[in-house]
Homo-oligomer: A and B are copies of this chain.
Amino acid sequence: MDVFEAIKERYSYRGSFKNITVPVDHLEKIVQAGLDAPSGGNRQTTQFVIINDPGVIAEVKSAFGDHPYITTAPAFIAAIVDSEPKPYREGGFIFVLEDCSAAIENILLSITDLGYASVWLDGVLRMDGRAAKIGEAIGLPASKKVQILLPVGVPQETLPRREKLPFKERAWFNRYGQ
**Residues on A facing B (Cβ under 8 Å):** 1-4, 6-8, 10-12, 24, 27-29, 31-33, 35-38, 40, 42, 44, 46-53, 56, 80, 88, 91, 93, 95, 97-102, 104-106, 108-110, 112-113, 120, 122-123, 126-127, 138-141, 144, 162, 164-165, 167, 170-178
Contact = CB atoms under 8 A, between A and B. Distances in A.
A108 B172 contact: no
A3 B98 contact: no
B93 A164 contact: no
A49 B98 contact: no
A36 B56 contact: no
Nearest to A47: B170
A178 B102 contact: no
Contact of A56 (B105, B123, B174, B177): B174
Nearest to A31: B171
Contacts of A113: 2-4
Nearest to A89: B123
A95 B109 contact: no
A42 B144 contact: no
A32 B175 CA distance: 17
Contacts of A176: 47, 49, 80, 138-141, 144
Contact of A50 (B35, B105, B108, B172): B172
A26 to B, nearest CB: 12
Contact of A95 (B6, B10, B122, B175): B122
B110 A4 contact: yes
Contact of A173 (B35, B46, B50, B127): B50
Given A3-B2, A109-B3, A123 B91 contact: yes
Query: Looking at A38, A165, A172, A177, which has the most chain B CB atoms within 10 Å of its CB?
Result: A38
